[in-house]
Structure 1
């Protein structure tokens, strides 16, 4: 079967894009490996009408609504190769099948590269976060620890003061200069240059010097990379951002390869469910336009 669009990635951005396309009665295949970035979180916040809802439930509801459209085919599996050119792409999946389409959309999301600190991965998405707009309010203005990973952590610590009393733990990852230290002090951020040994309890940091620091929650600025190498392997240009590597797109969400689009966390910063949905919806509209007017 020849699809109009194959969407690689069936999380929020991919489904939002697919919805625009099936409502335009385009034949769409969504290939989803089932690894949502926020699968570790129990609640999603900041998404209008869905504030505080389990992000898994949001995804399940969206999928059910999407699959009510007859022009949608959903495939649970992993895309392993993409070849071809505009109007004649082939997407291979891990079951050995080939799927043909006029356009390809990468909505693969990203992987968070976490600081190598004992106890951190187990608490990621539960008491350790990256987005204050998603998780800051629930900390009820309590003590917040920020684990530094680079220069962006200084900005993150300053920002988080609107959600609690912040301590920036440099952990040998960043050395704020005098000007940065003055800005942090002015903002009310406490600076701790000690080294973190591990994280215990809900959000307790055990320092190398024996101190135990208790926090209501912890934030860290992870470095993100696309969760799939397929866009880069196809030849799409990548770009460096303050948050990591992403697929380069233009204002219409088209990559540097004609007929190939990208959206969501893999193709924009900053990241959140609501921003991913908006980005996906825009990509779906632009994909539809490209099918109608390929030379526009």
Structure 2
């Protein structure tokens, strides 16, 4: 069977795009590998109407709603390769199965590249975060640590005091001039120069000199990259942003390859569930228009 649109990635952006197309009675294939970026978080926040809901429940409810439309096909599998051109794309899955479609949408999401700090990966999404709008309120104005990982960490250190007393742990990743130090001090930010040896307990920082600093939560600026290289291998261009690399698209979410579109965290920044859903909805409408006009 040939589909109108093949969507690679069935998380929030991919499903939002699929919904617009299904409501236009278009045939849609969604292929999803089952690894949402926020799978580590216990609750999702800042998403209107779903504030405080477990992320997996939001995704499961959305999928059930999509499955009510008869023109949806959903395959739980890994997408391996895309070939072809507009009106004649082919998607090969990891098991060798091939599916064809007139359009393709890369909604693959991203993965977080974390600094090499002992204990950070295990606490990611639970006690260590990248987005204060998603997680800051629940930390109840407790002591917060910002671990520097890149120049963008300075922005975090300036912003995080909105949610609690903040310590900026430079960890050898950032150099501060006098004006910047004065700015941080004016915001009530404590500056810690000693490198981080690791994270213990829930969110306690063990410094290289042996001291232990206790925090309610930690923030780290991760670098994001598309969760899979499938779009890049197909020939889609990537661009660097302050947050990492993403797929280049135009205002209608089309990549530099005619008929191939991209949306969600893999094709925009900054990132959140709300923004991914909005981007996916727009991509779905743009895809439909490309089939009509």
| TM-score, scaled to structure 1 | 0.98
For residue 40 of structure 2, give the secondary structure of its aligned residue in structure 1: coil
1:81 matches 2:81: yes
Unaligned runs of 5+ in 2: none
CA drift of 1:179 comes to: 2.1
Give, in whole Å, the separation in 1 of the partners of 2:284 and 2:75: 19
Q: CA offsets, 1:143-201, max 9 Å, x none?
A: 10001011110101111111001111010111122222121112221111111111111
2:51 maps to 51
CA drift of 1:238 comes to: 0.5
CA drift of 1:25 comes to: 0.4
1:179 maps to 179
Q: CA offsets, 1:44-82, max 9 Å, x none?
A: 000011100000000000001011100100000011000
Superposed, 1:86-101 pairs within 5 Å as 86-101=86-101
Give, in whole Å, the separation in 2 of the partners of 1:195 and 1:183: 22
For residue 18 of structure 1, give the secondary structure of its aligned residue in structure 2: helix
Give, in whole Å, the separation in 1 of the partners of 2:182 and 2:282: 41
1:260 matches 2:228: no
2:216 maps to 216
Mean Cα deviation higher: 169-178 or 261-270? 169-178
Give, in whole Å, the separation in 1 of the partners of 2:15 and 2:268: 16
For residue 26 of structure 1, give the secondary structure of its aligned residue in structure 2: coil
Superposed, 1:232-247 pairs within 5 Å as 232-247=232-247
For residue 81 of structure 2, give the secondary structure of its aligned residue in structure 1: strand
CA drift of 1:260 comes to: 0.6
Give, in whole Å, the separation in 1 of the partners of 2:108 and 2:174: 31
CA drift of 1:258 comes to: 0.6
1:121 maps to 121
State how many pairs are aligned. Answer: 293
Q: CA offsets, 1:80-123, max 9 Å, x none?
A: 00000101000000121111001000000001001111111111
Give, in whole Å, the separation in 1 of the partners of 2:281 and 2:128: 29
| Large movers: runs of 4+ above 2 Å | none
| TM-score, scaled to structure 2 | 0.99
1:66 matches 2:66: yes
Superposed, 1:22-41 pairs within 5 Å as 22-41=22-41
CA drift of 1:137 comes to: 0.2
For residue 166 of structure 1, give the secondary structure of its aligned residue in structure 2: strand
